[in-house]
Amino acid sequence: MIRIIKGAVVDGAKPDAKRNHGIWAYRADRYSLVCGFSHQPLLDACRQLKSLYGLSGEIAGLFREGRDTPDLTCSVEKGATTVKEPKAGKVAFGRYVDLSMVFPRTPEPALAAAE
């Protein structure tokens, strides 16, 4: 699994940031070009992994600093193609997509073993 480390909430790349707006710093330790500031760090990291390193079949996970368990996971391919691009730098609402139709449902390993 590719570890995407979610850092502190920042206002952006500017050093004089004064307010937190839900933008996180992120980085991938094994892939030095994967880093930045984002509202959606896992998805943006997947886009970078796909475009810069050509990865698509790998699984990426979003980890908090010092944690061993990811908060979110997805395949690099799905994460890279899930991003909704803002128009003219503004965030816009997108059409609702039923994610159960996009991502196949797989039973949790602990639940599958119990059955």
Mean pLDDT by 10 residues, the chain (115 residues): 91 58 87 91 92 90 92 89 62 63 66 54
- pTM score, whole prediction: 0.66
Separation between Cα atoms, residue 90 and residue 26, nearest integer Å? 21
Q: CA torsion sign, 16 to 8 to 20 to 60?
A: positive
Phi, psi of 37 (to 5 degrees): -130, 135
Is the CB of residue 8 less than 8 Å from the CB of residue 65?
A: no
For residue 29, the model assigns a pLDDT of: 86
For residue 79, the model assigns a pLDDT of: 86
Residue type, 23: I
3-state secondary structure of 96: coil
Separation between Cα atoms, residue 36 and residue 28, nearest integer Å? 10
- Ordered by start, the domain boundaries in the chain are 2-84
For residue 34, the model assigns a pLDDT of: 95
The C-alpha torsion from 30 through 16 and 19 to 68, rounded to 10°, is 20
For residue 23, the model assigns a pLDDT of: 84
For residue 52, the model assigns a pLDDT of: 92
For residue 105, the model assigns a pLDDT of: 67
Q: CA torsion sign, 12 to 15 to 19 to 20?
A: positive
